[in-house]
Amino acid sequence: MTPVLKMTHINKRFGAGHTEVDALTDVNFSVEAGQFVSIIGPSGSGKSTFLTIAGGLQSPSDGSIHINGTELSHMNAKQLSEVRFNQLGFILQASNLIPFLKVAEQFDLVEKLTHQSIQARVESLLKSLDIEDLKQKYPKELSGGERQRVAIARALSNDPSLILADEPTASLDSEHAYEVVKILAREAHEQNKAIIMVTHDERMTQWSDEVYRIEDGKLKIKED
């Protein structure tokens, strides 16, 4: 089976000469459909750089990235934007919702941009995340946990194969944080999605199929 995301010999350097910094060093990584993978690391470890490269937001200095078998390094900004829109979902720390759209309208916007009906999909997502009653609310009217659940639904709404979650629990108390991580694990397994979660919180990794540790730009599988 083709991995959903495959990163081979990725290096990322910032700056040049004596100010040069290696953000990522020889990173090899792949994730398959139905896998929920956690990447754990302290701040400054290269987590965010890893995520931005995996998401096609910046290109690596060396190495190659394939999403569903397609190489990203030759794509222009517009093509990358299309890949992100169709194949990737982002869940961000603070929430990726648009503040002036009601919950239901967040999905209407996706529908308008894809020109495909996603209503049935959205309905079942909202049901499984138990946020059906929030459709007519604005993001600011939701609690942090509700907001992240809507954000998960938004990220899954256009049926991407890969979800990148950047510290999705950072703004939540532990009870809500556990709940969000459990949902992510469930969606990965039930919907057959590849989900990568980046976090600094060890406690959040217990539902993951695999846990990696990133430190000083080097990615290693975590051994307990």
Partner 1 sequence: MYLAWKEMRYAKLRYALIIGVMVLVAYVVFMLTGLADGLADGNKQAVVDWKASSVILSNDSNKIASASSMKQSDLKRVSVSDKNKAGVGYFPTAVQHQKKSEKQNVSVLGAKKSSFVVPNVTKGRLYQNKHEIIISQNLANLGYHLNQKVKLGSDSKLYKIVGFSKATKFSEVPVIYLNLNAFATLKYGDQVFKNNGEKPLSLIAIKKQSANKLTVSQSSDDTKLDKLSVNTFIQNIPGYSAQNVTLGAMIGFLFVVVAAIIGIFMYVMTLQKTSLFGVMKAQGIKTSYLAKSIVGQALIVGVVGVAIAFVLGYLTGFGLPETMPYSTDLGQWLLDGIVLILVAIIGGLFSIRTVTKVDPINAIGGE
Site for partner 1, rule CB under 8 A: 43-44, 46-49, 51-52, 55, 57-58, 78, 81-86, 88-90, 92-93, 96, 98-101, 105, 108-109, 112-113, 138, 166-167, 198
- The residues that bridge with 5 in the sheet, in sequence order, are 31, 67
For partner 1, the closer CB: 149 or 154? 154
The span from the CA of 216 to the CA of 151, in Å, is 30
For partner 1, the closer CB: 52 or 64? 52
For partner 1, the closer CB: 73 or 130? 73
Neighbours of 123 (CB within 10 A): 13
Residues 6+ apart with CB under 8 A from 91: 148, 151, 152, 155, 163, 164, 165, 166, 168, 184
For partner 1, the closer CB: 83 or 204? 83
CB of 110 to partner 1, least distance (A): 9
- Of 56, 88, 60, 57, nearest to 72 (Cα)? 56
Given 3-state DSSP classes, what are the helix, strand and coil percentages for the chain, each rounded to the nearest 5?
40, 25, 35
CB of 223 to partner 1, least distance (A): 25
CB of 153 to partner 1, least distance (A): 13
Q: Are 187 and 156 in contact (CB under 8 A)?
A: yes
The size of the chain, in residues, is 224
The per-residue b/e assignment along 7-46, b for 16 or more CB within 10 angstroms, e otherwise, is beebebeeeeeeeeebbbeebebebebbbbbbbbbeeebb
For partner 1, the closer CB: 159 or 189? 159
For partner 1, the closer CB: 63 or 89? 89
CB of 89 to partner 1, least distance (A): 8
CB of 84 to partner 1, least distance (A): 3
Q: Are 121 and 102 in contact (CB under 8 A)?
A: no
CB of 52 to partner 1, least distance (A): 5
